[in-house]
Amino acid sequence: MFRETNTRSIVKGISWRVVATTTTIIIVYIFFGRLDLAIAAGLIETVLKVVLYWGHEKIWHKIHWGKKKIEPFNLWFTGLPLSGKSTIADKVYKELEKLHIPIERIDSKDIRELVPNIGYSREDRNRHMLRIAHLIKTLQNNSISTVASFVSPYRESRKAIREMVKNNIVVYLKADIETCKRRDYKGVYEKALRGELENFSGINDVYEEPQHAEIVIDTDTVSADEAASQIVKYVRKHYVK
């Protein structure tokens, strides 16, 4: 899959203009047999079409008919550690990028690498979620949608996010804890079970299931690709029609 770059588009536009102008020059020369007249006609035609196209675009830019504003939205992925949040959110983000809408990806791992001193207590996590909500709100104020993936185990923080963020779509990736353990390529569940990690959701801390999630997907039975497809369909139906 390739995306057209601005440079390529400009070069294509120039090459087409050269072809069109050359065609005009040839036609005029064939009919009148004068090269000077043919070149003059080609240059005049080029200038006129550039000016007319510019004016045409300016007029249509001011006409609101046929335009549809896309309200920024936030896809909030929540679930137990290793339930598939980052994997599926990444796939969804890549698909939504293809729709050419302003969108950003926010993942818990990346944020914690930037701010490594964030704790894991309930208070620390709730405060951290408010920071993320503020970030998303700022992006939305600039018409940028977001795909965010965080364990976000507590209902009060998810409620606060919903109140702060417009068009918040909670995506609950439901998975049995035994399934999550089998996916544990980092061994974090084993560390939590040995007591080496405190406040680990699902082991020595709670994970409070969302009660009003817009999308619920059981990743025990639904593949990452299928889950991503379902979520993209939801977004296209409700926000990017």
Same domain, 83 and 139: yes
Same domain, 57 and 158: no
Same domain, 58 and 131: no
Same domain, 30 and 80: no
Measured CA angle at 77 (ends 71, 83), to 5 deg: 160
Same domain, 34 and 152: no
Q: Which residues contact 130 (CB under 8 A, 6 or more apart)?
A: 157, 160, 161, 164
* Residue 204 structural domain: 74-238
Same domain, 15 and 97: no
CATH number at residue 163: 3.40.50.300
| Amino acid at the residue 38 | A
Written as tens digits, the pLDDT of the chain (241 aa) is 355 677 887 888 888 888 989 999 999 999 989 999 989 998 998 888 888 888 888 888 888 777 677 899 999 999 999 999 999 999 999 999 999 899 999 999 899 888 878 899 999 999 999 999 999 999 999 999 999 999 999 999 999 999 999 999 999 999 999 999 999 988 999 999 999 999 999 999 999 999 999 999 999 999 999 999 999 999 999 998 7
Same domain, 86 and 133: yes
CA distance 235 to 241: 8
Same domain, 12 and 111: no
> In angstroms, what CA-CA distances link 108 with 1, 112, 113?
28, 6, 9
Token pair of 141 as six digits: 């104020």
Same domain, 187 and 152: yes
Question: pTM above the 0.85 mark?
Answer: no
The catalytic position among 145, 149, 152, 157 is 152
Same domain, 44 and 142: no
Asked if residues 232 and 188 have their Cβ atoms less than 8 Å apart, the reply is: no
**Annotation says 152 is catalytic:** yes
If one counts every other C-beta atom within 10 angstroms of the C-beta of residue 31, the result is: 10
